[in-house]
Amino acid sequence: MKNTFGQSVAVTLFGESHGAEIGAVIDGMAPGILVDEDFIRHQLTLRRPAGKISTARVESDPFRIVSGVFEGRTTGTPICILIPNSNTKSGDYTRGLPRPGHADYTALCKYHGYEDYRGGGHFSGRITAPLVAAGAIAISALREKGIYIGTHMASVGRVKDRSFGADLNADIDLLADLNFPVLDADAADRMREEIEAAARDGDSVGGTLETVVTGMPAGVGEPWFDTVESILSHALFAIPAIKGVAFGDGFEMAQMRGSEANDALTTDGNTVTTKTNHNGGINGGITNGMPLCFTCAVKPTPSIFKAQDTVDTETMQNATLELKGRHDPAIIHRARVVVDSMTALVLCDLLAQRFGTDYLSSK
């Protein structure tokens, strides 16, 4: 199983939802990067469930950095982060009745029944906690280079937020401390209502996340098989529940003419920019210096409290499943920081490949 992603800067994830600990290893991060443990805690807080729109399983995530950091800065050697699991209820899960929409059946096919099925095991969204901790270090490194990442919930169900405004960094700052990352307060209230309505029905709801990255230099990425779009998509699709990724205007470009979709070039005598950004800051798989823009589709949480058809894989008889336990009626608000974290790790890797492994070093 492939649990490592990246070339120059690589991240490995390990652990299971109800195992003793989960964790991440970052290899290839430049030496000298400031590691702010308070910022890591803050980022983990953004992923943590809160209130009746989230699961009742709340972990405090008292992470430990056991290697690769000395006197508050990266050493250049592998960074290992461990997070314990404590608030588990393994009795809520049953072997042999795969949950529709989950990886239970496909895990059985791949691992022949030896997989840890409790809480989804290694496939659980719980494994995104160490990804967020690792991503916090990458986000800090990028900020030192003037590169900023922000994501908001563009839609939840049928409710839409406003798009990013002209001052992208102001919107990124606004989102940084929001547990419910929405740019328009009225839309936030209606989104909460949408999630709560699904919860009352024993159901769930999905939505879309819109991400922007400012400050990325032009010339990063490769043509054909290692384009910025393909590398980012590869990583983003690893996040549980992400079922679609579109860059710039995405599928809307299929309805445009070339005169509408092309981004005209302009200069102030020193810097080349584009007058529009329909292509999301990428041409030919390579960054053009404009903000990176992409949207992720997040499916409804597959754990719902309605009776569903399944198969008893031990008797090979049709069966009905009614879930117990603690589940999110929506995960999109918690997925936002996971998308930011994954994006940061990918960009660190791409930048290190383009400019060298010490590019992100603070010295």
Length of the chain as a residue count: 363
> pLDDT at position 328, please?
83
What is the distance between the alpha carbons of residues 269 and 250, in angstroms, rounded to a whole number?
A: 31
Pairing of strands 10-14, 21-27: antiparallel
Domains delineated in the chain: 4-355 (3.60.150.10)
User: Taking Cα atoms as reference points, which of 312, 313, 330, 329 lies closest to residue 321?
Assistant: 312
pLDDT at 57 (0 to 100)? 55
The phi and psi torsions of 85 (rounded to 5 degrees) equal -100, 135
How much is the pLDDT for 88? 65
Question: In this structure, what DSSP letter does residue 217 have?
Answer: P
Q: How far apart are CA 249 and CA 10, in angstroms?
A: 30
Q: pTM here? A: 0.94
SS (H, E, C) 142-207: HHHCCCEEEEEEEEECCEECCCCCCCHHHHHHHHCCCCCCCCCHHHHHHHHHHHHHHHHCCCCCCE
Q: How many CB atoms lie within 10 A of CB 158?
A: 9
Displacement of CA 104 from its chain's centroid (Å) = 21
- pLDDT one digit per residue (tens) for the chain, 363 residues: 589 999 999 999 999 988 889 999 999 999 999 999 999 999 999 998 776 676 555 668 899 999 999 999 999 999 999 999 986 666 667 788 999 999 999 999 999 999 988 878 899 989 999 999 999 999 999 999 999 999 999 999 999 999 999 999 999 999 999 999 999 999 999 999 999 999 999 999 999 999 999 999 999 999 999 999 999 999 999 999 999 999 999 999 999 999 999 999 999 999 999 999 999 999 999 999 999 999 999 999 998 888 999 999 999 999 998 887 667 899 999 999 999 999 999 999 999 999 998 999 866
Q: At residue 82, what is the residue type? A: L
